[in-house]
Structure 1
Amino acid sequence: MTLSPVLQFHDGHSIPQLGLGVYKIADAAAADAVQVALESGYRHVDTAALYANEAGVGQGIARAGLPRGDVFVTTKVWNADHGYDSTLRAFDESLGKLGLDYVDLYLIHWPVPSQDRYVDTWRALQTIRADGRARSIGVSNFHPHHIDRLLAETAVVPVVNQVELHPWLQQADVRAYDAAHGILTEDWSPLARGRAIGNPTLEAIGARYGKSAAQVVIRWHLELGDIVIPKSVTPSRIRENFDVFDFALDDTDRAAIAALDSGERTGRDPDDD
């Protein structure tokens, strides 16, 4: 069975580069999707308290029957739970729903600068890591200036920054900042909420390799060196999204995809919270 390549965190742990995202998937459907994914070779599942499907994710992991150490699990603290004590409580709740003794990665979901509590939240994540209940800690949707503040006030560098990233929002500045600080970039909405499917440029590239536009984009994310978490509930699509390790893009392909960059977001700007 083909497995995803793994990338190394600066803290010594590692993460499978290609994982399954489960945003907006109901609990029962999440259990089925996770089970199919793990049986198809995925070893990385990304959820969050906001998604209200941590219990389903945990059920899918249990059904697949893999050793706990073989499955990389990420979850995230939601905006309403920012602050030191409330983050600790939120983590306990997430862990209970997942039915796990630890998670591999715990993230601050958004900085929510209007609340001005993400530094206290970051300190709580450090406590959770020190207790061994999260192997690694990181952030999601952080601009460089948000991370600068974490570093200035705590000196603890996130292992990952999960951001919206796709051909129409290529985030060169964020990726460069992350790389300069030893932070891996992880890409959510990698297919731009389905916009990639049917795009003439991407379809034409895919036709050359006998691949779909979605497979081309997932391959592009992998070749950037980023972590990528495409979402699907359809078993055939889950498997298709993982079937991207038998071809490689060339310079012409990469130039065509680079030309799609327009700075368009499908979600909100993290500074707007």
Structure 2
Amino acid sequence: MPRFGLGVWKTDNRTSRDSVAAAIKNGYLAIDTARQYGNEQGTGAGIKLGLEQAGLKRSDLFVTTKLYNGEQGDYDQVSKAFENQLKDLGLDYVDLYLMHWPVDKTYIESYHAMEKLYREGKVRAIGVSNFDNDRMEKLLEEAEIIPTVNQMEFNPTNQEHEILAFDQSHDIEMTAWSPLGGGESLTNPVIDALAKKYDRSAAQIILRWEWQRDIITVVKSTHEKRIIQNSQIFDFSLSDEDVQKINELDQGRRGLWYDDFQWHNPNGKVANGIDQWPDTRK
């Protein structure tokens, strides 16, 4: 799995198509989407276009998508959901299939269904997303295949030390979503000072820090210039001292909001519907 790729959360199908194509054309070899994002059709169109423009084959690209919470369940339900996702993506297989959230009533059963998809060769690897240590431990007790990755929010102000340590102890890689941490990280004085020191953008400093921390990143951008700029992190290194400066920005917050998440708490405030975007095929 490439350790650096493009994510397409909160982009419509047309924008997703254009950003994915631009990313592949400019050297990105990993694309991350999800059923919940509502843009698998656009992502698939971008993959086709980008591969054509770059002169690459499908096997050159690593594609990740995710099982939606509302489609978790037994094998028949998960398999049907997955086949619909393949159709929308226009692909014969995906390289990595993640469980988007650990819905308490179904995540064990759903993971077993994902294991069967893996054995059938429909997915090349399986993993999870947004799993805290309690849920991951329960999953590992039941799983026959150890998840390859756990995709979590990870950025300078939210470093999830306990989850990272637990996952690493079980040979589970962490993939960062929201790797730039929004304005809180991008405008941090420490990051700003390092950007000036290395003559780089704040985003490049953060992404290089995550690279040196051995965190897989999927970074979102919808502008080709920024897509290119974000990937230009391999011709410089942060000193150990500067890596530690960013390490010390962690605020110790728990990044997950299980108590407010409706899939866990019927009275929760955080919904999780599928974003519906225009269909690029029309």
State TM-score, norm by structure 1.
Answer: 0.90
Give SS of 1:86's match: helix
Displacement of 1:145 after TM fit?
Answer: 1.8
1:268, CA displacement in angstroms?
Answer: 2.8
- CA distance in 1 between counterparts of 2:172 and 2:260 reads 20
- CA distances 1:117-154 after superposition (whole Å, capped 9, x unpaired): 10010011011111111100000000122121122123
Match of 1:192 in 2: 181
CA contact (8 A) 1:141 1:270 kept: no
Query: Which residue number in structure 2 is paired with residue 146 of structure 1?
Result: 135
- Structure 2 residue runs of 5 or longer lacking an equivalent are 265-282
- The residue correspondences of 1:156-235 to structure 2 (distance < 5 A) are 156-235=145-224
Distance 2:221 2:238 in 1: 23
Q: Secondary structure at the match of 1:19?
A: strand
CA–CA distance in 1 between the matches of 2:102 and 2:67? 10
CA contact (8 A) 1:29 1:56 kept: yes
RMSD: 1.5
Question: Contact 1:104–1:136 at 8 Å: present in 2 too?
Answer: yes
2:280 aligned residue: none
Q: Could you tell me how far 1:179 is from its partner in structure 2?
A: 1.1
CA drift at 1:17: 0.4
What is the distance in 1 between the residues matched to 2:20 and 2:251?
33
Task: Tell me, in whole angstroms, the C-alpha distance in 1 between the residues paired with 2:143 and 2:244.
Answer: 39
Shift of 1:212: 0.7
Corresponding position of 1:71? 61
The residue number in structure 1 matching 2:231 is 242
User: How far does the alpha carbon of each residue in 1:216-240 deviate from its partner, in whole angstroms, 9 at most, with x for none?
Assistant: 1011111111100110101111111
Gaps of 5+ in 1: 1-14
**TM-score normalized by structure 2?**
0.88
Q: Distance in 2 between matches of 1:226 and 1:182?
A: 13
* Per-residue deviation, residues 30-73 of structure 1 (Å, max 9, x unmatched): 00000100011100000000001111111111112220000100
Which of 259, 262, 267 is residue 251 of structure 2 equivalent to?
262
Distance 2:247 2:32 in 1: 27
Residue 251 of structure 1 deviates from its aligned partner by: 2.2
Structure 2: how far apart are the matches of 1:87 and 1:223? 36
Query: Does residue 101 in structure 1 map to residue 87 in structure 2?
Result: no
Task: Provide the aligned length of Structure 1 versus Structure 2.
Answer: 257
Deviations 1:99-128 (A, max 9, x none): 000000000000022xx1100100110111
Instruction: State the Cα deviation string for residues 14-34 of structure 1 (Å, max 9, x = none).
Output: x00000010001001000000
What is the one-letter code of the residue matched to 1:140? Answer: S
Bigger drift between 188-197 and 99-108 goes to: 188-197
Residue 17 of structure 1 pairs with residue 7 of structure 2: no
- Cα displacement (A) at 1:252: 2.2
With over 3 angstroms needed to count, the CA separation of the structure-2 counterparts of 1:265 and 1:153, relative to structure 1, is closer
Query: How far 1:266 sits from its partner (Å)?
Result: 6.5
- How far apart are the structure 1 equivalents of 2:253 and 2:168? 22
Could you report, residue by residue, the CA deviation over 1:134-180 in whole angstroms, capped at 9, with x for unpaired residues?
Answer: 10000000012212112212332100000011111111111111111
Q: Which amino acid aligns with 1:215?
A: Q
Match for residue 269 of structure 2? none
1:257 and 1:18 mapped to 2: Cα distance? 19
